[in-house]
A and B are shown apart, each in its own frame.
Chain A
C-alpha cells in the first residue's frame, strides 16, 4: 500500500518537474497567437502539428545523424581516455594524485565559447578543420573528459580493494583486474557519467557552430538556431523541432532505464 502511495507522490513530483518539458510540447502545438495569449492555455486550443515539414524541411535527418556521430565519438573517446585515469585517481593517494586531480578539474574551467577561439586557430593550423566533425569531437572531448574523470573517480573510490586483490590471486594482471573487476563494480558511476557526456555532446552547440561550416555536416542544435532570424523568432518551429529532437532520446532512455538508471539500486557493492 505504502509503495503505491510513494508511486503517486513520485508521479506528482515528476510531473511538476517535467512541466517545462510539457510546455515545450504544448508550445509546439500552438500557433503564434496562442503562444502569447493570456491566460495561457494549458492545452493547445487549435493544435497543429507540422512535424513532417520541420523534420524534412529542416534537414533534421542529416543534422541528427551528425549529432549522433559527434556524441558517439565523444563518448567513446572519453571512456577510452578517462576511465583508467579515474581509476588511478580513485585508488592512489598522495601529493601527485592531488596535483593531478587539481589539474584535471582545472581543465574544466573555461566555457566552450571562450576556448573555441584558440582551438579554432590551432585546429586551423593543424588542418583539422578539413574534418570538422572530428574537430568537434576532439574539442568536446577535452571539455567532457575532466567531468567524466571526476565523476568516475568517486565510483572507483568506492570499490573495495580486496576484490581486486582476490582477482590478482585468481590470476589477473592489474590491468585485467581493472577491466574485469574494478570497471564492472564501478559501472553505475561510469554509466551515468557516460550517459551525461553523451547527452551533453549530442546537444553540443558552440564548437559545432564554429568549426563546421558545411551545412551537410552540421549538428541538430545548430540547426535549431535557424528558427531565429534577425527579426523573427519562430517559437512554434523551435519547439516542434526540439520536440522531435528530444522525444526519441527520451523514449530510448526510458526504455533503457532498466540498464542505465534503475541498475543503480541493484548494484550495491558491499
Chain B
C-alpha cells in the first residue's frame, strides 16, 4: 500500500503544491501526497498547534520570514546534512535573498520553492496620452513622482500610482525596499533616508497621487484598480501577470522600481516561501526526497506557477519574457525580511509607523523613532 505524505501549503487548487504533488505521484506510484490547504495567516499557528499535538505534516510551506521563528523554536528539522548528501540541491545556487531566508545560524532549515519580488507596472497607453514616453519609465523617485503627478486625473478617477500600505505584512513588504534604497533597513528604520522614504510616501498620499485607500488595500486590490484603469502605475509582483494579461485591456509594461537618486542602490522585496520538514514529521526521508524533486523542477516554476526561480537557473521560453527579465533582475537585489525569530514583532511597529505618518497622526520622524524603539526592544531580547 502506498505511503502517504502530508503536505501543507497555502496554495489553491492547481497551484504549486497541487501541481507538484500530482507530478510526484506520477513519478513515484508508491507514494501518495495528501495536500492540505492552510490559510496563509494561519500557517504558523497551525504548525505550532500541530507540533503540540504531534499531528504535523511531512512537508510544509513556510513563508520566508517565518522560517527563523519556527526554526528557533525547534519546530523544523535541520536539513543541512541531508542537503549536503543530496545531489540536486546546491544552496550556493540560490539568490542571496532566498538563501538567507532558508538558513538560521548557518544551519539550513528550508529549501526555497521559488521567489517573487516587486517591480513597477505601468500603463503605457496612459503614458502616451499624457505625453510621457512609455519606453522610458521613471528611473528615480523624482521622475517617478513627476510621472505619477502627471498621470493623475481626478476627473476620470485615475490615480497616478497604486501601491499598498496596508496594516499587514504586505505593508512592510512594500515599504522596506524604499527604506533600503534610501539607506536604512528594518533594524535601522529611523535613519534619515528611511524618514525621507516615508515622507516620499506621505507626499504621494497627501497630493492624492495615490488613493488614501492605499492604507486599507492589499496589493491584489491595488493592482485591481490598475487593471481597471483607475491607476496608471502600480507597485506589485509577478503573481499578477496572469490576471493582468486577462483583465488589463491596455498596453501594460513592467519596470524596475525607481531608485532614490540616479545611480543609487537598488532594492526590492523578497517574496514567496520555502518548503520545510517539521521536527516530528513521520516520514522525513521520503519528504526530503520530494523536496529534492520539487527543487529540481525550479526551471518550470515561472511558466507553471508564476514564481520566479529562487536559484539561478535558465528558464526556457519564459512567458511574458519582458516582464520576466525585469523581475529576474529585480530579484538580484531582493532582500529577505529579517531573518529574525521575532520578525512579526518587528514588522508590526513598521506598519503602524507607516500608517501613522501617512494619516498625519504623527510626522514621519517621530513615527519611525517610535517603531525603532519597539524594534530595539525586540532585537535586544
Give the interface of A toward B (CB within 8 A). 31-39, 57, 117, 120-121, 124, 129, 209-210, 213, 215, 225-233
B361 interfacial by beta-carbon distance below 8 Å: no
Specify the chain A residue showing the minimal Cβ separation from B40: A230
Q: Pull 28 A–B residue pairs with CB atoms less than 8 Å apart, ordered by A.
A: A31-B247, A32-B224, A32-B228, A32-B243, A32-B247, A33-B229, A35-B224, A36-B224, A36-B225, A36-B227, A38-B157, A38-B230, A117-B49, A129-B53, A209-B39, A210-B46, A213-B36, A213-B55, A215-B36, A225-B39, A226-B12, A228-B40, A229-B12, A229-B40, A231-B116, A231-B240, A231-B271, A233-B220
B227: chain A residues within 8 A (beta carbon): 32-33, 36
Q: Taking CB as reference atom, which chain B residue is nearest A223?
A: B37
Give the distance in Å from the alpha carbon of A39 to the alpha carbon of B11 in the complex.
Answer: 33
CB distance from A53 to the nearest CB of B (A): 11
- The reply to whether A215 and B37 form a contact with Cβ atoms under 8 Å apart is yes
Place the interface of chain B in its size category: 35 or more
Per the bound structure, the CA–CA distance linking A66 and B105 in Å amounts to 46
Listed in ascending order, the chain B residues whose CB lies under 8 Å from chain A are 10-13, 15, 36-37, 39-40, 42, 46, 49, 52-53, 55, 63, 116, 157, 218-221, 224-225, 227-230, 237, 239-240, 243, 247, 249, 271
B228 and A231 form a contact (CB under 8 A)? no
Do residues B221 and A121 form an inter-chain contact, with CB atoms below 8 A? no
For B230, give its contact among A36, A57, A209, A231 (CB under 8 Å). Answer: A36
**Residue among B13, B39, B239, B249 facing the most chain A CB atoms (10 A cut-off):** B39
Complex CA gap A213/B219 in Å reads 29
A229 and B14 CA atoms in complex are apart in Å by 13
Which chain A residue has the least Cβ–Cβ distance from B10?
A230
Query: A36-B230, A57-B13 given as contacts; is B224 within 8 A of A231 (CB)?
Result: no
B40 touches A209 (CB 8 A): no
Inter-chain contacts of A34 with B (CB < 8 A): 228
Residue of chain A at shortest CB distance from B237: A231
Chain B's interface: helix, strand, loop or mixed, by majority? mixed
> Which of B42, B220, B237, B239 counts the most chain A CB atoms within 10 A?
B220
Q: Is the CB of A229 within 8 A of B11?
A: yes
Residue numbers in B under 8 Å from A233 (CB-CB)? 218, 220-221
User: Complex Cα distance A156/B221, Å?
Assistant: 50
- Most chain B Cβ neighbours within 10 Å, of A35, A227, A231, A232: A231
| Pair A231/B219 contact, Cβ less than 8 Å | yes
Q: In the bound complex, do residue B12 and residue A124 qualify as a contact, i.e. CB atoms below 8 Å apart?
A: no
Q: Complex: how many Å from CA A129 to CA B218?
A: 35
Q: Taking the nearest CB of chain A, how far is it from the CB of B302, in angstroms?
A: 15
Residues of B near A210 (CB, < 8 A) are 46, 49
* Chain A contacts for B220, CB-based, 8 A: 231-233
Q: Are A228 and B225 in contact (CB under 8 A)?
A: no
A230 partner residues in chain B, CB cutoff 8 A? 10, 40, 63
With the chains together, A131 CA to B218 CA distance in Å?
37
How far apart sit A228 and B170, CA to CA, in the bound complex (Å)? 14
CA distance A38 to B230 in the complex (A): 8
Q: What are the residues of chain B within 8 A of A209 when measuring CB–CB?
A: 39, 42
CA distance A227 to B10 in the complex (A): 11
Write out the residue numbers on chain A whose beta carbons fall within 8 Å of the beta carbon of B39.
209, 225, 228
- A231 and B39 CA atoms in complex are apart in Å by 11
Q: Known contacts A32-B247, A215-B36; decide if A229 and B230 are in contact (CB<8 Å).
A: no
Task: Say yes or no: A33-B36 contact (C-beta < 8 A), given A229-B11, A231-B219.
Answer: no
Bound-state CA distance A129–B50 (Å) is 12
A226 to B10 Cα, complex, angstroms = 9
Whether the Cβ atoms of A124 and B10 lie closer than 8 Å is no
Instruction: Choose among A33, A39, A215 the residue that contacts B228 (Cβ–Cβ < 8 A).
Output: A33
Chain A residues contacting B230 (CB-CB under 8 Å) are 36-38
Chain B: CB-nearest residue to A38? B157
Residues of B within 8 A of A229 (CB): 10-12, 15, 40
Closest chain B residue, CB of each to CB of A230: B40
Complex Cα spacing A187 to B49, Å: 42
List, in ascending order, chain B residues with CB within 8 A of A117's CB.
Answer: 49
The residue of chain A having its C-beta at the shortest distance from the C-beta of B242 within the complex is: A232
